[in-house]
């Protein structure tokens, strides 16, 4: 009999034997490349692991939320080899640190960020007719150095 390439070149196809045992493949790879979704503190060594650091993680299907699968990603800290486990949370569309670390929370207020508070539509309509308010705003803008329209 000729080689496989020659057999395919002739146009013949030999199908697989259905009685032969087939190999059952995995549904997903157990080891994946995982990128940290947020800053965390390792509980083993106390080091900060920054957002975007990549790890070789073990992926496991642990539960279901409605029709969405909940996965667990287990990895080791690159400094102390402490085990960190992060789970997906489809209900809130976030990741949750299950064990081995603490998520770094960054709390700030709009006042600290110097954000501008916008007027409501009703206030804007009342203030647009007020010529004294327009004059006061122009004077304030001139003091700041912004050209008033």
pLDDT in tens, the chain (149 residues): 556 666 556 666 666 666 666 555 555 558 899 999 999 999 999 899 999 999 999 999 999 999 999 999 999 998 888 999 999 999 999 999 999 999 988 777 767 777 766 666 666 666 667 777 778 878 888 887 755 45
Give 75: exposed, middle or buried? Use CB within 10 Å, 0-12, 13-18, 19+.
buried
Own/partner long-range contacts of 119-125 (Cβ < 8 Å, ≥24 apart): none
Helix (H) or strand (E) holding 139: helix 131-144
Phi, then psi, of 49 in degrees rounded to 5? -105, 120
């Amino acid at each position: 009999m000729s080689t496989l390439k020659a057999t395919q070149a002739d146009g013949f196809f030999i199908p697989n034997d259905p009685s032969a045992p087939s190999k059952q493949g995995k549904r997903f790879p157990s080891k994946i490349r995982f990128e940290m979704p947020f800053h965390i503190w390792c509980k083993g060594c106390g080091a900060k692991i920054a957002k975007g650091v990549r790890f070789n993680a073990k992926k496991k299907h642990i539960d279901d939320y409605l029709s969405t699968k909940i996965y667990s990603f287990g990895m080791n800290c690159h400094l102390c080899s402490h085990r960190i486990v992060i789970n997906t949370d489809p209900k809130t569309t976030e990741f949750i640190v299950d064990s081995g670390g603490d998520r770094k929370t960054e709390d700030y207020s709009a006042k600290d960020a110097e954000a501008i508070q916008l007027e409501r539509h009703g206030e804007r309509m009342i203030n647009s007719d007020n010529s004294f308010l327009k004059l006061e705003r122009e004077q304030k803008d001139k003091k700041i150095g912004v050209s008033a329209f």
